[in-house]
């Protein structure tokens, strides 16, 4: 994608499936809040939910992603009803949500540290879309622009919390394993999309 090698159908497939991930992130963060007994952590972590869900006055990341989908030629209904979500993507995202609900809150926070790489990733992704996928309206890329700042702030706080509360070998090992698990989640999502791409996206969408 970053090399400009995807066609419109493949971009739509990526956007439709990543929306399932986007819409579940606030649920993941709410699960961490529910398990965390420390107000000083909750006060900062709750910002992640409003960043995605928005407020009554301000658009959030989920709405921005819907605009991205519409700029790519998808309908909001097609995104919301999950008709194009691959089973592998659904399984991986659901596993991540279950992980956040069932693991100790510092370990669930540690799993989010993939965001340490997000600012650079978002910058590259924004450049790629602006240079190669010029058929997508500029305002459809607002999600990527917002995450340039949000992801940096989020990852810095998550790292601070992880270092403070994962303070023995057992917790540190669990934190590392949590980050590896999150990488597996993301990898599984991309594997599922690559399989669909190789099988033929048009055939998949007709059958869906």
Cα distance between residue 36 and residue 33, in whole Å: 5
SS3 annotation, 30-78: HHHHHHCCCHHHHHHHHHHHHHHHCCCCCCCHHHHHHHHHHHCCCCHHH
| 126: CB partners within 8 A, 6+ apart | 141, 144, 145, 148
Instruction: Enter the CATH code of domain 8-207.
Output: 1.20.910.10
Q: Cβ contacts of residue 106 below 8 Å, gap of 6+?
A: 161, 162, 165, 166, 171, 175
Please give the chain's pLDDT, 208 residues, in tens: 999 999 999 999 999 999 999 999 999 999 999 999 999 999 999 999 999 999 999 999 999 999 999 999 999 999 999 999 999 999 999 999 999 999 999 999 999 999 999 999 999 999 999 999 999 999 999 999 999 999 999 999 999 999 999 999 999 999 999 999 999 999 999 999 998 877 655 554 454 4
The reported pTM is 0.92
Q: Which of 2, 58, 61 is nearest to 29 (CA)?
A: 61
Cβ atoms of 54 and 63 within 8 Å: the answer is yes
DSSP 8-state symbol, 99 = H
CB atoms near residue 163 (< 10 Å)? 13
CA distance 70 to 86: 19
> Which of 96, 140, 147, 103 is closest to 121 using CA atoms?
147
């Amino acid at each position: 994608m970053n090399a400009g090698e995807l066609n419109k159908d493949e971009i739509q497939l990526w956007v439709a499936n990543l929306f399932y991930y986007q819409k579940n992130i606030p649920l993941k963060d709410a699960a961490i809040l529910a398990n965390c007994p420390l107000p000083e952590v909750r006060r900062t972590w709750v910002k992640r939910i409003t960043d995605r869900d928005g407020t009554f006055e301000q658009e959030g990341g989920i709405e921005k992603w819907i605009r991205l989908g519409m700029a790519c030629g998808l309908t909001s209904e097609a995104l919301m009803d999950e008709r194009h979500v691959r089973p592998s993507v659904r399984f991986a995202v659901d596993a991540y949500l279950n992980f956040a609900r069932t693991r100790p809150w510092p370990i669930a926070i540690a799993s989010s540290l993939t965001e340490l790489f997000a600012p650079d990733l978002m910058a590259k992704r924004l450049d790629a879309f602006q240079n190669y996928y010029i058929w997508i309206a500029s305002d459809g890329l607002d999600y990527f622009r917002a995450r340039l700042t949000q992801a940096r702030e989020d990852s810095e706080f998550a790292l601070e919390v992880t270092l403070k509360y994962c303070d023995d070998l057992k917790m540190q090992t669990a934190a590392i394993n949590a980050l590896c698990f999150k990488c597996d989640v993301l990898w599984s999502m991309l594997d599922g999309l690559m399989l669909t791409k190789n099988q033929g996206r048009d055939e998949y969408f007709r059958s869906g």
